[in-house]
Amino acid sequence: MKWVIMNEKQLIKAAIKARALAYAPYSHFKVGAALCTADGEIYQGCNIENSSYSLTICAERTAFFKAVYDGKKQFEAIAIVGGHEDNVELEICPACGACRQVFAEFCEGDFKIILAKNENEYIVKTLSQLLPMSFELK
C-alpha cells in the first residue's frame, strides 16, 4: 500500500510527543522520532540511555525496532526532534550515522527524513542525501 495521508506537521507533532518520554539522565539531550509506515501508521520512539553509555539507543532506532517487531517493513518518512532538556526551543537533530544505516536496511533512497525544530520550522532530506553510500551485503 502507498503512503496515505500522513503529513509532515502531523508526524512532527507525534515526534514532539514521543520526546517527552525520552530517558536521558546522562546527556540530558532528549530526542523524539515518529516513523510513518507505508500503510499510514505511526510508530514513535525516544532515546533510552544507559549508565554503560554505549548501550544507549537513539529515538529513531527505537521507533524502527518497534515497527519491525509489529511486522512492518515498508516506511515512507520519519520526523525527528531533539534538544537539551533545559532548552525550550528544539534544534535540528540530523540522525546519527548508525541510525541512518538502520534506515537503509529497510528503506530506499527516497525515504523522507524530516528534521524539525517545531511544526513550522523543519527541513526535509532524503535518505540518499544523508547516507549516499550505505553498506549492503550482496
* Residues belonging to the active site: 60
Strand order of the β-sheet with 112-116 is 42-46, 29-37, 75-84, 112-116, 122-126
Q: Answer whether 68's CB lies under 8 Å from 106's CB.
A: yes
Q: Which of 3, 9, 27, 74 binds ligand THU (CB under 6 A)?
A: 27
Q: Answer whether 42's CB lies under 8 Å from 11's CB.
A: yes
Q: Which of 14, 99, 113, 131 binds ligand THU (CB under 6 A)?
A: 99
Query: Closest approach of Cβ 63 to ligand THU, in Å?
Result: 10
Q: Does 65 bind ligand THU (CB under 6 A)?
A: no
Q: Give the cell for residue 24.
A: 536521558
Cα distances (angstroms) measured from residue 125 to each of 100, 109, 129: 12, 10, 6
Q: Does 15 bind ligand THU (CB under 6 A)?
A: no
Q: Which of 6, 24, 63, 90 binds ligand THU (CB under 6 A)?
A: 24
- Residues within the interface to ligand THU (CB under 6 A): 24, 27, 29, 31, 47, 49, 56, 58-60, 93, 95-96, 99
